[in-house]
Amino acid sequence: MSEDIATKPFAVSLDVGGSLLNKTGSWRSERPVYVDRLPPCNHACPAGEDIQGWLYHAEEGDYRAAWEALIANNPLPAIMGRACYHPCQDACNRAQLDQAVNIHAVERFLGDLALAEQWPAPIPGSPSGKRVLVIGAGPSGLSAAYHLARLGHAVEIHEAGPLPGGMMRFGIPRYRLPREVVDGEVRRIVDMGVKLHLDSRVDDIPALLEAGRFDACFVAIGAHVAKRVDIPGRDAARIVDAVSFLRDMETGDAPLQLGRRVVVYGGGNTAVDVARTAKRLGAEPVIVYRRGREQAPAHDFEIDEALEEGVVVNWLRTITETDEQGFKIEKMELDENGWPQPTGEFETIEADSLVLALGQNVDQGILTNLPGVALNSSGVVEVGNDMATAYPGVFAGGDMVPAERTVTVAVGHGKKAARNIDAFLRGETYTPPPKPEIAVYDLLNTWYYSDAEQKVQPVLDAARRTTTFDEVLSGLDASNALFEARRCLSCGNCFECDNCYGICPDNAITKLGPGRRFEFKYDYCKGCGMCAAECPCGAILMTPEST
């Protein structure tokens, strides 16, 4: 062998069987490593669901395993699949290929299947001997109670209202969220051993903590107090707030005398819900909002559905006065900063009633006897990263703390609070695990994925939508849910497609068996990077070779 060849940065050797092997590790500048990146859907979920994880089971057709993986983080999937505005789908990488995975529809399918099959919640953990008081049976309180029960703590929920569900029941109309779905999800939590006390208003937390021998408390009272506005000449008999209107629709406590022509003042989802409900009651609703559609806080698809149902919307209008004939409206225009400014142009809308949908506040009176608990300028409770208030052992979440007011956020607060309450009861501090980097679209090799358009959920025909409270949006069936789950790209995490194994020119990758993925044999890997380039989901990272 010549000296030139002998000094090359690799060696030719014989293995024990006498075969020639090229050992390339000594001249490699980079080596591939398998990584687990955070899928963007998981990252965007306020409830902290492992969406990719439960979709993996769903695409195998193992719906029971998928549901069990789902409720490890969220105990209300049948509700969430309807009420959540699915930010996970806004973040889904598949949207850059064709259309986002219809995650919320698959979640709803799993939740509905669990209710139909009466799948029970997980068996609670070993009793800890600790008792936790939860105030409020809305999404945040129910979530906290569920997770605390799973951790082995005895939980009691005290709810001031006559029925559980909070704003899920009293703020979301039946055509979006059927009440049997709410009842079924709540029943599963109660069946875990959680005690639920209805018509049980709490006015003195320290007294109840002592009387019930509770070791901690989670306060999750919803935003049930309507914001008001002063309208000159107003006739109180003709004006009702949106919260009371929707609550009366649920309880039937008072007759709803709206008349034929109804003005709804506001531009949020609640305003749209009120208008669509009034339409179903036979009224002719008109939404009045002081800004344009682009600035309206209501979700775009909800506005579209309202318009389809015949709801009229007057953008850039504000109510200045009321009299016997109706409401005096001033036209507005947006300034350079997007804020509405009066124009001095007026018109009159003849109407029988006005529903104020200008937002809601939380009744914070329950906190007045908790020394040290502070409210910020918006009137919500200041809490730490652990959801704890300044009063020892009392935690708060949902609408009561600074955050976006959605069902999903509230469920996430309940889970987060439960973990921190559990740590508090054990004399520890909960530290969430570090999050890996996000699997962005550029890391994927989408050449391997064929176009597969999102499955569309059936919609109730327009005639029935405006005359009944039947659910507007239907769910997927088993075959459509399976198809939709299989559209997941498994962003950032190996799903054992065998691409790396098949493409490697050096046979430097070993299959470890189902569920165990692969292993690199670095003695024979020359660091060409073909495995990383051809990985469909971006689960291989080329890292500098250590010296």
Which residue spans of the chain are classified as CATH 1.10.1060.10? 48-120+449-484
Rounded Cα distance, 330 and 121, in Å: 54
For 122-131, the pLDDT digits (tens) are: 888 899 999 9
What is the pLDDT confidence band of residue 304, given thresholds at 50, 70 and 90?
very high
Instruction: Find the mean pLDDT for residues 469-475.
Output: 93
State the residue for tokens 């239907």: 474
- Beta strands (DSSP E) in 284-440 are 284-288, 312-314, 317-322, 326-334, 340-350, 353-356, 360-361, 394-396
Give yes or no for a contact between 407 and 80, defined as CB atoms under 8 angstroms apart.
yes
Instruction: Find the mean pLDDT for residues 324-351.
Output: 89
Instruction: Find the mean pLDDT for residues 323-327.
Output: 78
The pLDDT, as a whole number, for residue 225 is: 74
Contacts of 123 (CB under 8 A, 6+ apart): none
Nearest-CA neighbor of 263 among 248, 281, 278, 250? Answer: 278
What is the pLDDT confidence band of residue 12, given thresholds at 50, 70 and 90?
very low
- 194: which DSSP letter? -
Rounded Cα distance, 532 and 324, in Å: 73
Instruction: Find the mean pLDDT for residues 359-365.
Output: 78
Rounded Cα distance, 91 and 110, in Å: 21
User: Is the pLDDT score of 71 beyond 80?
Assistant: yes
For 88-99, the pLDDT digits (tens) are: 999 999 999 999
Which residue spans of the chain are classified as CATH 3.30.70.20? 3-36+494-544
Instruction: Find the mean pLDDT for residues 189-199.
Output: 96
For 234-291, the pLDDT digits (tens) are: 665 588 889 889 988 888 765 567 889 999 999 999 999 999 999 999 999 999 999 9
Q: The tokens of 455 are what?
A: 């499955």
Q: Which fold has domain 3-36+494-544?
A: Alpha-Beta Plaits (3.30.70)
Instruction: Find the mean pLDDT for residues 305-311.
Output: 94
Give yes or no for a contact between 58 and 66, defined as CB atoms under 8 angstroms apart.
yes
Instruction: Find the mean pLDDT for residues 355-381.
Output: 81
For 20-64, the pLDDT digits (tens) are: 344 455 567 899 999 999 999 999 999 999 999 999 999 999 999
The reply to whether CATH 3.30.70.890 applies to domain 131-225+361-425 is no
Contacts of 456 (CB under 8 A, 6+ apart): none
The model's pTM:
0.89
User: Is the pLDDT score of 19 beyond 70?
Assistant: no
Instruction: Find the mean pLDDT for residues 378-387.
Output: 86
Question: Phi first, then psi: what are they for 287, rounded to 5°?
Answer: -90, 130
Average pLDDT, the chain: 89
CATH tag, 254-357: 3.50.50.60
The pLDDT, as a whole number, for residue 23 is: 45
Instruction: Find the mean pLDDT for residues 527-532.
Output: 92
Comparing 161-175, 224-238, 288-302, 394-408, the range with the smallest average pLDDT is 224-238
The pLDDT, as a whole number, for residue 233 is: 66
Residue 197's SS3 state is strand
Adjacent-strand bridge partners of 239: 354
The reply to whether CATH 3.40.50.1820 applies to domain 48-120+449-484 is no
Which residue spans of the chain are classified as CATH 3.50.50.60? 131-225+361-425, 254-357
Q: The tokens of 211 are what?
A: 């009387």
The pLDDT, as a whole number, for residue 358 is: 87
Nearest-CA neighbor of 183 among 63, 70, 79, 277? Answer: 79
